[in-house]
Structure 1
Amino acid sequence: MDLLEVNSIMDFLPLCFYGLIFDTSAILYVNILFIALSILPVFKNTNQGFQKFLFYLYFGTNLLAYSTNFIDFIYYKFTFARTTIAFVSVLENETNKATLFWDFLLTYWHVWVLFLLFSALWIYLYKKVTVKGFVPTKKRYYFGFSTVGFMFIGLFTVLGIRGGQYEKKTQPINLMDANTHVKNIAHVDIVLNTPFALIRTLFSNHFSKPNFKDINPQVILKEVVPIKQYHNNPVTKPNVVIMILESFSREYMGTFNKNVKIPNYKSHVSFLDSLSQHSMIYTNAYANGRQSVHAMSSILAGIPSFKDAFTSSPYPKQKIESLVSVLEGQGYNTSFFHGAVNGSMGFLGFGKILGIDNYYGRTEFNDDSQFDGYWGIWDEPFLQYMKRTLDKKKTPFFATAFTLSSHEPFLLPEKYKNKFREGEMPIHKCVEYTDFALKRFFDEAKKEPWFSNTIFVFVADHCNKPYYDEYKKTVNRFAIPIMIYKPNSKLVGVDNDLAQQIDIYPTILDLIGYPKPFRSWGKSLFDKTSVEPFVINSTGSVYQFSKGNYICTFDGKKVLGFYDKEDKELKNNLIGKRNAEMNALELKCKAFIQDYMERVIDKRLATIQ
């Protein structure tokens, strides 16, 4: 509950009450067939054979749904959102599902023991109720009363699925409706339950054109500026290397927390802290998504993911203008390095869509003695392999590495178990190991001729379970580091403006002096005049749009709240004190969403129109 902090029991009880609405809906969804078969006006529904069938039907569906809540006891701390059907997109490309499953069973054995105990109690209580056999003597009355009962119960079942609002709703309640019952957006996940979240997203496609009445092409051009062009730097062709760091919350990095005033703060990245003294760092940066599958499209193509991953939607198979395509047009060789099983997370498939020349994974590494037993090759040997591969590349090259060792189940190579000790949280030792792996990479890379003419970008894919209270705040659950390093250059300093993953694509093109216009929802982090800094992301049910002095929460149809930019917990809703800046923020948020949906759905991700 430290991730969903509630101030008092009086705040918690209303959340539980409103949660009953969604619990009831989920229970009725799961049991709709059981209910129908139980109340059908037939004679055989009371005999032992039929009741035995109903027993297996009841527990087959209910225990499956019940187990998903226990899964979220574990999974929620990694995603900060109720699990939806989009979770399937995370697993569909993994070949080690069985290994991960058994590891989670062992690691979180207490969760599964609790599930089994409650399930056993449930079955015991069910069997305490017996249904006596019954054969009606007056069939006309039996069928008459049974039919009325069937219709009456059916009506209340539909009413329960709709959240008790039959006349006011044309559709059953969905995840968005939970937002109407909370003051703090994070508490939506207390009101919701996982079976409901899974069922209501099972057949949904959240990619649809909103068609806001106050948004037109002219408004989009002005507010979103979807076409960028920069003339700040001369045309050059340095190598570009992007390091996407698995689960590297901004919380772990000392130089990014100098002014945060966290009591007894401890950094876990001695190398990156040292390198940051010679880099440009962005201390107010955020991820555009919640999972690894969201990061690749955000960083390389400037395409964020909101409720669902763009790469798992029906729309990624189209021509996409991206950092990859633009740099290839400038004569760059492009590579992607990820030490997992080839195809994991869908990176290989999306890489092909973007046009990446070479993909290097566990197959190409070809030495399973360095396999961690779960996800892939340990970061240290794999980054050394990446360095040796880059040594053979013709310059200029563009390479992306996606690390993996700072990931559940948080293991270390045997030889480093005494070097990196358990910190306040299991992930801390793994973050320190990845930081060490990066140091080893740099120690070797700086010996090579290509190193001095290379722009290095460091960015996290998403955050992990926070330790400090500052990073438990709703907005800071997306807080990541962004750092740019070029050896012996003037790219040194601290920028406290808002920044996000989708800004990396235009920033690189600005730095290399790319002279042509290109499609980008992000902005160059060095552009301080044409587009004001902003950040957009989604909790899975609500958009969060930050710009200027305020944060706007938006459910896709209407504004839920405005908050002061310092109110990272989203506690004090200012919607009743609207001003001109808030109205402008709402307009920009809606314009962004509409242009995003239209370009994705209409397959205009490669056009500058």
Structure 2
Amino acid sequence: MKNLRGQELFALIYRLFLVFFFYQMARLLFWLFNKDLIKVDRLSEYFNLSYYGTAFDTTAILYVNAVFILLSIIPLVINTKNGYQKFLFYWYFITNGIAYSLNFGDMIYYRFSQARLTSAAIEVGKHENNLGGIFWNAVLQHPFVVVWFIVVLFLWIFLYKKVKINDEKPKNVIVYFISSIISLCVVTTLVVGGIRGDFKHSTRPINLVDANKHVSNPLQANIVLNSVFSFFRTIGTNNFKLVHFVDEKFIDQEIKPYKLYNREVGSKPNVVIFIMESFGKEYSGAFNKQNNIKDFVSYTPFLDSLGNQSLIFINAFANGRQSIHGMSSVLAGIPSLTDAFTSSPYSNQKIQSIVSVCNDLGYDTSFYHGAPNGSMGFQGFGNILGFKHYFGKTEYNNDNDFDGIWAIWDEPFFQYFAKNMGKKQPFMSTLFSASSHDPFKIPEKYNGKFKKGTLQIHEPIQYTDHSLKKFFETASKQPWYHNTIFVITADHTNQINYPEYQKAMNRFAIPLLFFSPNPKYNLKGVDDRFAQQIDIYPTLADLLGYNKKIRSWGRSLLSDKNEDYMIVNSDAINEQMIIGNYIYIFNGKEVTGIYDKSDLALSKNILSKNLNPKQKLGIEKTKAWYQDYMDRVINRKLR
């Protein structure tokens, strides 16, 4: 029995090893075919990229081979029969052959798309009436790709046949079945972990953005990836479609996707951005004075005190629902719609952002996050944006301060942040906090120090607020402090206590604060205009005196142009836009609801046939914004 179960498992492992081997061969051929487009300086660098590509290969291989694995180890007494093994052979090579061919097709496709094959190709294909002609034309122009595919496939078949399973029956059927079930449970666990991309505690499986955390140049991410992974991982994420509702003149006049500010700035200020995990506006007293909420309790005493010395926006909204959405919104001005840009087939492109603006101005740029490097997709997306430095758990290099689940505790990591940045000026540094995250724990030494509150999150919010206070105590002693602009906001909201924040739009309500100890920036006061995360990037570009055009759907909150606002976010089903005096609900094709901007609960739909001129214009602006967003994302015009 042991020999029978052992040879079945050995054959399965060997056959899967062959898939890994040939995926690496496809990666090498892909690079050799496109090495003029993807620069790799040293052979050792290529091997490093191919090593990291194994995680993405694993996901792709397990997607394709999940049924084969099940059929190979399911406890059937016919497993070793020649007919059954022949069936497995054909299943293995038909499924793997079709999937594997995507890697070879991409050797050609990449030269035109400059990106790995994704499910977006399906949409492209829908608009082509001559796919057969296009295919054969590509084959005729690149016959060696087809030749290589055939040669590799024959070699694969040859090696597969080197390991065979002998036709025999189990001596003890009961023991055979029990061992088979145990093997099945173990293998299923490994397959699920492999498909996700790792076995660590994580909020999401790896996607295309994660490939960028392993590269020095964003283009090298295409070596780390494989075409099967990029195709499968983007299935269901591509509701990105070109639409046409208005002409370009209307977009230029009403949406104004490019902004230009003319501010004279002497010495360039440093910039420090805090993106605070789950720091909903609900938790902070400074941002709730106008709401008159009965028995309101603030859990951010330091942020409240800092708010008295800052410019705060008390009606600010997040542009997404997850942490990575917050990063793209705050730093690059790209909101998340029903499908997130950061997990879309279009995320790996050049993007103009506050990072690129600062790089253009000669700033030293860095990103800090205390979680294991690459967590949340931050390192990969940070590389796309162009951060010069990334500091995570690896660089912190002291696991004694690790919370055991997510990241380095906020207090010590904030201290590391304060002391490590600013060695070269001017600089722009961003920190993404971590401790105010589920499961909402705080360090043992602080047990009993903070009030429990009514929600689990209240205690860690106070801990992070305390960490922020300690950060400013340390930062105020640094030579760069006086000439620095600080921005504090949240990535998204979290647990809700007060009915005011159960309202649909207020589920996106976040704090937004600009502070500088230097009075020349005049960052003081309370502003009750609607604002959002995507306004941060143009506001900072304005403050830094970046007197060139920037691509931005937000606007500078400090410009004397008094620009109109368009607040954008999504409930994951529809897009939501606040324009002028109304809130518009849009399903990608038409506006299905209009609400007064004071009706944040979206309780009374006033959409009717008798629209007033402002409502009609708002509908046109909603469609125009959506059209421009899709055009810029899909046609890679975000730079």
Structures share fold, TM-score greater than 0.5: yes
Pairing of 1:104-123 with structure 2 (within 5 A):
none
Q: Give the alignment partner of residue 354 of structure 2, picking from 288, 299, 323.
A: 323
Superposed CA offset, 1:542-600 (max 9, x none): 11110221111111111111111111111111112521111111111111111111011
Amino acid at match of 2:415: Q
Distance in 2 (CA, whole Å) between partners of 1:98 and 1:492 is 39
- Residue 305 of structure 1 and its aligned partner are, at CA, apart by 1.0
SS at match of 2:457: helix
SS at match of 2:468: helix
- Residue 527 of structure 1 and its aligned partner are, at CA, apart by 2.7
Q: Which residue of 2 aligns with 1:234?
A: 265
SS at match of 2:421: helix
SS at match of 1:359: strand
Amino acid at match of 1:210: V
Q: Contact 2:320–2:326 (CA<8 Å) still a contact in 1?
A: yes
Q: Contact 2:317–2:508 (CA<8 Å) still a contact in 1?
A: yes
Residue 376 to residue 93, structure 1, CA distance change in 2 (3 Å): farther
Superposed CA offset, 1:292-351 (max 9, x none): 011111111111111122111111211111111111111100000000010011110111
Amino acid at match of 1:562: I
Superposed CA offset, 1:255-276 (max 9, x none): 1100101000000000010001
Residue 356 to residue 436, structure 1, CA distance change in 2 (3 Å): same
Q: Which residue of 2 aligns with 1:97?
A: 201
Residue 278 to residue 530, structure 1, CA distance change in 2 (3 Å): closer
Distance in 2 (CA, whole Å) between partners of 1:568 and 1:494 is 21
Distance in 1 (CA, whole Å) between partners of 2:474 and 2:616 is 52
SS at match of 1:575: coil
Distance in 1 (CA, whole Å) between partners of 2:374 and 2:584 is 37
Distance in 2 (CA, whole Å) between partners of 1:92 and 1:521 is 33
Pairing of 1:173-184 with structure 2 (within 5 A):
none
Q: Which residue of 2 aligns with 1:588?
A: 621
Pairing of 1:48-197 with structure 2 (within 5 A):
96-97=200-201
Q: Contact 1:249–1:463 (CA<8 Å) still a contact in 2?
A: yes
Amino acid at match of 1:589: T
Q: Which residue of 2 aligns with 1:524?
A: 556
Residue 389 to residue 273, structure 1, CA distance change in 2 (3 Å): same
Amino acid at match of 1:278: Q
Distance in 2 (CA, whole Å) between partners of 1:92 and 1:364 is 25
Q: Contact 2:504–2:602 (CA<8 Å) still a contact in 1?
A: yes
**More relative contact order, 1 or 2 (CA 8 Å, 6+ apart):** 1
Distance in 1 (CA, whole Å) between partners of 2:494 and 2:247 is 38
- Residue 97 of structure 1 and its aligned partner are, at CA, apart by 2.5
Superposed CA offset, 1:413-453 (max 9, x none): 01001112321101000000000000000001101110000
Q: Indicate whether 1:375 and 2:479 are aligned.
A: no
Distance in 2 (CA, whole Å) between partners of 1:574 and 1:280 is 35
Q: Contact 2:202–2:375 (CA<8 Å) still a contact in 1?
A: no
Q: Which residue of 2 aligns with 1:75?
A: none
Pairing of 1:359-508 with structure 2 (within 5 A):
359-391=390-422, 393-489=423-519, 490-508=522-540
Superposed CA offset, 1:368-421 (max 9, x none): 111111111000000111111115x21100000000100100001010011123
Distance in 1 (CA, whole Å) between partners of 2:321 and 2:236 is 21
SS at match of 2:631: helix
Distance in 1 (CA, whole Å) between partners of 2:204 and 2:440 is 12
Q: Which residue of 1 aligns with 2:78?
A: none
Structure 2: give runs of 5+ residues left out of the alignment.
Answer: 1-191, 206-233
Q: Which residue of 2 aligns with 1:268?
A: 299
Q: Contact 1:94–1:344 (CA<8 Å) still a contact in 2?
A: no
Q: Which residue of 1 aligns with 2:364?
A: 333
- Residue 526 of structure 1 and its aligned partner are, at CA, apart by 1.4
SS at match of 1:587: helix
Structure 1: give runs of 5+ residues left out of the alignment.
Answer: 1-87, 102-200
Distance in 1 (CA, whole Å) between partners of 2:198 and 2:386 is 22
- Residue 233 of structure 1 and its aligned partner are, at CA, apart by 4.1
SS at match of 1:426: coil
Q: Give the alignment partner of residue 345 of structure 1, picking from 372, 376, 385.
A: 376
Distance in 2 (CA, whole Å) between partners of 1:475 and 1:534 is 14
Q: Give the alignment partner of residue 570 of structure 1, picking from 587, 593, 602.
A: 602
Amino acid at match of 1:455: I
SS at match of 1:456: strand
Distance in 1 (CA, whole Å) between partners of 2:490 and 2:540 is 17
Distance in 1 (CA, whole Å) between partners of 2:362 and 2:202 is 42
Q: Indicate whether 1:555 and 2:587 are aligned.
A: yes
Flag as ranges the 4+ runs of structure 1 deviating above 2 A.
91-101, 201-204, 232-236, 527-531
Q: Contact 2:196–2:204 (CA<8 Å) still a contact in 1?
A: no
Q: Contact 2:277–2:437 (CA<8 Å) still a contact in 1?
A: yes
Q: Which residue of 1 aligns with 2:326?
A: 295
Residue 242 to residue 469, structure 1, CA distance change in 2 (3 Å): same
Q: Give the alignment partner of residue 543 of structure 1, picking from 557, 569, 575.
A: 575
- Residue 217 of structure 1 and its aligned partner are, at CA, apart by 0.9
TM-score by length of 1: 0.66
Amino acid at match of 1:581: K
SS at match of 2:529: strand
Q: Contact 1:287–1:537 (CA<8 Å) still a contact in 2?
A: yes
Amino acid at match of 2:471: F
CA RMSD between the two structures = 2.1
Distance in 2 (CA, whole Å) between partners of 1:514 and 1:93 is 40
Amino acid at match of 1:554: F
Distance in 2 (CA, whole Å) between partners of 1:350 and 1:414 is 33
Distance in 2 (CA, whole Å) between partners of 1:98 and 1:406 is 16
Residue 499 to residue 93, structure 1, CA distance change in 2 (3 Å): farther
Distance in 2 (CA, whole Å) between partners of 1:596 and 1:571 is 28
TM-score by length of 2: 0.63
Farther off after superposition, 299-308 or 203-212:
203-212
Q: Which residue of 2 aligns with 1:155?
A: none
Distance in 2 (CA, whole Å) between partners of 1:567 and 1:243 is 30
Q: Which residue of 1 aligns with 2:612?
A: 579
Q: Which residue of 1 aligns with 2:81?
A: none
Distance in 2 (CA, whole Å) between partners of 1:362 and 1:548 is 44
Distance in 1 (CA, whole Å) between partners of 2:267 and 2:310 is 19
Residue 395 to residue 482, structure 1, CA distance change in 2 (3 Å): same
Distance in 1 (CA, whole Å) between partners of 2:320 and 2:588 is 16
SS at match of 2:365: strand
- Residue 99 of structure 1 and its aligned partner are, at CA, apart by 11
Distance in 2 (CA, whole Å) between partners of 1:488 and 1:226 is 31
SS at match of 1:546: strand
SS at match of 1:557: coil
Distance in 1 (CA, whole Å) between partners of 2:461 and 2:265 is 37
SS at match of 2:291: coil
Amino acid at match of 2:201: K
Q: Contact 1:306–1:538 (CA<8 Å) still a contact in 2?
A: yes
Distance in 1 (CA, whole Å) between partners of 2:355 and 2:199 is 27
- Residue 203 of structure 1 and its aligned partner are, at CA, apart by 3.1
